[in-house]
Amino acid sequence: MHEQAKMQDATESSPRQGRGAGFAAVRLRQQRRQMEMLTEMTKSLCEETKKANAQPVGAPSAPELLRLRCEIEELRLANRKKDSELAAAKSAHWQAVSQLEQRIHTLETNVAAAKASTKEVERLGNQRVLELRKLVSELEAKNAYLTEKVEKAGAEVLAVRAERDSSRAQSEEEKRRFEEQLVDLQKTLQKEREDSDAAKQQVSKLTGELAEKEGELALERAAKDEAANRLEKDFACQRETLESVISGLQRNLREVAAAKESGMDDRALYAEMKARCAKYAEKVQALQKELVEAARQQEALEQQRQQVEQQKRQERELEETTRSLREMELVKEQRERDLQEWEQLAASFVLDEPPSREAFRRHLLLLVNALQALQFEKTTATAQIENLRARMQESEEKLKARKEAEELLEAKLAQAEQRAVHLARETSEAKQQTELLK
């Protein structure tokens, strides 16, 4: 009994064995109660024996001796049975203690491995976060450069668009003026036809007078031929200098007025007017072609605007990538806090008192859940990093395509500026000719 008590005290004094034998405390208490009951029964038997010895020794009868011997044998059998049960309980207890020690050693090994793997994951995560920050800084620099170029291109596009609108308005105004002039010329031709009809009537009346003036008409025809030659020379000189064009047109107008006053042939006047109308029609067709070209330029500018909007969408995608990186940093900080909590939980296993079986099972379950959560977070972080790398590669390709689009845009803007200058020059020349004709 003393040896068993010493073994129990040694077991309770050992903190490691106490931690491992927490779940067997109930069985030990039950065995202790049984041993106390056996001790009390033994004490009571000893007291009865002492009382029996204290009584004067008499000659016991044979039945009493037989009864005493039977009781002694029963007590011996019960004692041996209790000793065997106690030995079996002791061996089961030590076996359970060894199993618990093995489980504790396994759990400590798993905890150490989990800490090592967590530190490795943290190191890799920090390294990848640094790489991603570097990539983000490079992308931000590229984004700033591209944003500046886009703003410049947008300003140039606005300038070209304003110039195009002004040139279009001028072209429409010139077209409207040409149409009005064409209508005026048609009215003039109609009036001239009416006048020619009246002149025919007068010619029929003045046939005699015209016969007398045939010589004068021949001279006038010669003068008109010379005037036509001068007009051709003046139109040829019109391409060289504006002053010669103005003087030629003025001479032509004076000669036409003189021809009208002097009764010029209607067919010649009609042919001259028809030639001028054909020239006006050619100019109108040229202006229509310029309007078609301006519409094409507008479509090109609309495509460029769509490209600018696509660039803005790419910038928004880059901002979303930066936001996801920040979220990953927040997740990393949360994981560090969780790791600190689990380290505190692992440190809570070292207790002054042996924990209960339920508490040990709860701590073990929490530790397993923590390991599973860390593995899941590691897998999620790896997938997010791969996704971010893919998105960054896609962003780089889009930035490359955007650079090419910007170069194409600059070339188109240069062409549009040249066309606008050419259109403005032709419009100014047409305006000057129109003013001269007026």
Q: Which residues are CB-contacts of 294 (< 8 A; sequence separation ≥ 6)?
A: 164, 167, 168, 171, 423
In order of 239, 262, 273, 394, the CA distances from 253 in angstroms are 18, 14, 12, 70
In order of 82, 231, 251, 259, 376, the CA distances from 254 in angstroms are 152, 11, 5, 8, 99
Instruction: Return the H-helix or E-strand segment holding 23.
Output: none
> HSE on the CB side for 36, CA within 13 Å?
6
Cα-based angle 335, 337, 341 (whole degrees, multiple of 5): 110
The pLDDT of residue 199 is 47
Cα-based angle 240, 242, 243 (whole degrees, multiple of 5): 110
The pLDDT of residue 72 is 80
DSSP assignment string, 113-130: HHHHHHHHHHHHHHHHHH
Burial class (CB in 10 A: 0-12, 13-18, 19+), 292: exposed
DSSP 8-class letter at 354:
P
DSSP 8-class letter at 240:
T
Tens-digit pLDDT string for the chain (438 aa): 444 444 444 444 444 444 444 555 666 677 677 777 777 777 776 777 677 666 554 555 677 777 787 888 888 888 788 778 878 877 887 887 788 778 878 888 888 888 888 888 888 878 888 888 887 788 777 777 777 776 776 677 677 777 777 767 776 776 676 567 556 655 655 665 565 555 456 545 545 554 555 555 556 556 555 645 554 554 444 445 445 545 555 565 566 566 556 555 656 655 666 676 566 557 656 656 765 675 676 676 677 667 767 766 766 776 776 676 677 677 767 766 766 666 565 555 444 445 566 666 676 677 667 667 767 776 776 777 677 677 767 767 776 776 776 677 667 666 766 766 666 676 666 566 556 654
d(CA 325, CA 133): 8
The pLDDT of residue 263 is 56
Angle of helix 357-437 relative to helix 242-261, nearest 10 degrees? 50
Of the candidates 382, 384, 383, 388, the residue with the CA atom closest to the CA atom of residue 321? 388
d(CA 20, CA 22): 6
In order of 61, 204, 211, 420, the CA distances from 216 in angstroms are 199, 19, 10, 54
* CB 270, CB 206: distance < 8 Å: no
d(CA 294, CA 153): 19
d(CA 89, CA 105): 24
The pLDDT of residue 18 is 43
* Cα 306 from chain centre: 17
* CB 294, CB 216: distance < 8 Å: no
